[in-house]
Structure 1
């Protein structure tokens, strides 16, 4: 099956970008569809599930998320994450984000998988990592990047609470990571 993209153009360009294009693609019955589609170009992101050995806890963040106010949430519990900067490698980005948000230096990281956040609307992929750290790896304050107006609280979730915490979490990447952790440790 094949597709082609024509007349792709930017229709909104601010902190994020929206593009519109004519898309022609094959159908499963052998025909073609010719239509216009929009794509939210957010860029790729990274996220990481961090296990702190001494406390037997997963490290999470609590921070304000403006879009969730539409549903009266405001603050969300999430795993550390962030957006890749131009020409930045995902491995370098996750190191930077964890230092900014939590103040920990990661000694090793393992890529679990890469996935799309909302493939019907967004080009964003998330590179999801896992790391085990020690209390002694906390070498900076964390709390977010003040130049980005971040205010991030470190939350330690004991692994014994993960099954019940999954039902409370509202962030998809965090739910996915916690479920992966539970499955990994059940076998």
Structure 2
């Protein structure tokens, strides 16, 4: 099946961009549809599920997330994550993010998935990784970058609690990563 992007223009450009496109695409019945679509462009991201061997725990971040305030939340438990810089390798990015957020130095993260967070609205792809760490790998302070106004708390959850607590998580990448862990590591 074919599609044509007839035009694209930026309709919002601040920290992120919103693009409006005129597109034409074939339907499953063989006809075609012409329509306007919007796409939120925020760039690609990385995320990682970290397992600390000595404590038998998953390492999570607890941080303020403004968009969740609409639903009276504010703070979310999540796996470490962040945005790829221009021309940055996803593996290098995930290593940088783990050090910034939790203070752990990681080696050889294993990529377990690449997925779209919200394909009906956003161009963002997420590169999901897994790594095992030791307490000795905690070589940095963590807590996020003050230049980005981050205030991140490290939270350890024993793997014995994952199944019973899974429904309490509200972040899709974290739920996906924990389900992967349950299927592949336990």
TM-score, length basis structure 1 = 0.98
Q: Tell whether 2:63 aligns with 1:31.
A: no
Q: 1:108, 1:132 within 8 Å by CA — same for their partners in 2?
A: no
Quote the offset at 1:71 in angstroms: 0.4
Match of 2:58 in 1: 58
After the TM superposition, which parts of structure 1 deviate over 3 Å for at least 4 consecutive aligned residues? Answer: none
- Between the two proteins, the alignment pairs up a number of residues equal to 186
Q: Is residue 2:69 matched to residue 1:69? A: yes
Alignment of 1:65-144 (within 5 A): 65-144=65-144
- Name stretches of at least 5 consecutive residues in structure 2 with no aligned partner: none
Shift of 1:164: 1.4
| Superposed displacement of residue 108, structure 1 | 1.9
Cα-Cα RMSD: 0.6
Q: What's the CA shift for 1:185?
A: 2.9
CA distance in 2, matches of 1:165, 1:47: 20
What residue is the counterpart of 1:5 in the other structure? Answer: 5
Q: Secondary structure at the match of 2:175?
A: helix
Q: Deviations over 1:118-165 (max 9, x none)?
A: 000000010000000100000011000110000000000100000112
